[in-house]
Amino acid sequence: MKNCLLAIESSCDDTSAAILTDGKIQSNITANQRIHEKYGGVIPEMASRKHQQHIIPVVAAALDEAGVEKKDLSAIAFTRGPGLIGSLLVGVSFAKGLALSLDIPLIEVNHMQAHVLAHFIERPQPRFPFLCLTVSGGHTQIVLVKDYLSMEIVGETIDDAVGEAFDKTAKMLGLPYPGGPLVDKHAQKDNPHAFQFTEPSIPGLNFSFSGLKTSILYFLRDRLKEDDWFIKDNLGDICASVQERIITILMNKLKKAALEYEIGEIAIAGGVSANSGLRKAVEQTGKELGWNTYIPRFEYCTDNAAMIAMTGYYKFLNKDFVGHDIAPVARYRF
């Protein structure tokens, strides 16, 4: 064994640990926090406390599943940001403590870069340069990926992230957090053209989702005035129509980026890339326009430590280590 990394992810509400040996993922264990469901969003203080409870058993399970002992580790990679500062602090402090006790180096990882590099966990892998639409709870980006660690954001949201648009829609419909997967589920069989929501006209490759959120709010308010049962009776059609609009906004910008950069290697990443409608749209558009499309397996779409390990691996090869004075950062651009 040439190298063996432990990776830790704790940027939001999932505590995750992974083991990678010689570039291959051996284990990827995630503990979810259900405590936020009833609040309609993540409560930062509760998230940090849950990370503290989860981190030791999650790391132990990752080591155990990989058949690796602590003494075998060559380095520890951790998410430095972006994310909730209290949540990040738990992972960063744990990584530092363990690295100090084992006398091994630390590798800091940008969470958004890691979402992109999730594509290198398995095959087929995109070829450089490729475009990655990274869609998560906090970010919406079109990234020009020139190499493993050389990326440029060429388009991004100017207000809400797309995951937020899904989660806020779900909240307005009375669905628990995180609402994205539930909107997806209720959208499955119903009519995506039942209701029309406007597409914002934002120049270039940037996105905006706050107008859509407001138009959904007003739409529901007006319909509920006439009919108390409107949401209950039309849940599937509302979810399908909102999802359809979100997907067309994303796809139109992605097509524009592909044209502008003359790139046909197209990937999606981040929690919202688990959305069944988006996955289908990317595949279908890819067929129409002759793109090679790359869609991660579900477990590598939402937050996971395997993607942190993969990024850590490329940094390890460059001996890109950090000192113990490193601190987490809530905002972190690559």
> Which one of ligand KG4, Zn ion, none interacts with residue 240, CB within 5 to 8 A by kind?
none
If we measure between CA atoms, which residue out of 25, 234, 4, 225 comes closest to residue 119?
A: 25
Looking up tokens 């951790």 gives 78
Distance CA 60, CA 262 (A): 46
Cβ 206 to ligand KG4 shortest distance, Å: 19
If we measure between CA atoms, which residue out of 324, 297, 321, 260 comes closest to residue 121?
A: 297
Contact residue for ligand KG4 among 6, 131, 238, 274 (CB under 6 A): 274
Q: For residue 35, what are its two tokens?
A: 């405590």
Based on CB atoms, which residue is closest to ligand KG4, 104 or 175? 175
**Residue pair 20/312 in contact by the 8 Å Cβ criterion:** yes
- Tell me the H-state helices in the chain: 44-66, 85-102, 111-117, 162-172, 180-187, 210-226, 230-261, 276-289, 306-317
Q: For residue 174, what are its two tokens?
A: 């009375």
Cis peptide before 105 (omega within 30 of 0): no
- Interface residues with Zn ion (CB under 5 A)? 136, 303
Based on CB atoms, which residue is closest to ligand KG4, 18 or 73? 18
Cβ 20 to ligand KG4 shortest distance, Å: 20
Based on CB atoms, which residue is closest to Zn ion, 140 or 293? 140
> Which one of Zn ion, ligand KG4, none interacts with residue 302, CB within 5 to 8 A by kind?
ligand KG4
Q: DSSP for 3-64, please give it.
A: -EEEEEE-SSS-EEEEEEETTEEEEEEEE--GGGGGGTS--HHHHHHHHHHHHHHHHHHHHH
Q: For the purposes of burial, counting CB atoms within 10 Å of the CB of 329, is it exposed (0-12), middle (13-18) or buried (19 or more)? A: middle
Using CB under 6 A as the criterion, what x/- string covers residues 130-169 for binding ligand KG4? ------xxx------------------------x--xx--
Tell me if 181 contacts ligand KG4 by CB under 6 A. yes
Tell me if 40 contacts ligand KG4 by CB under 6 A. no
Cβ 279 to ligand KG4 shortest distance, Å: 9
Contact residue for ligand KG4 among 270, 296, 312, 328 (CB under 6 A): 270
Cβ 158 to ligand KG4 shortest distance, Å: 18
Site residues for ligand KG4, 67-126, by CB under 6 A, read none
Cβ 203 to ligand KG4 shortest distance, Å: 26
Judged by the rule CB under 6 A, the positions of this chain that interact with ligand KG4 are 12, 136-138, 163, 166-167, 178-181, 184, 270-272, 274-275, 302-303
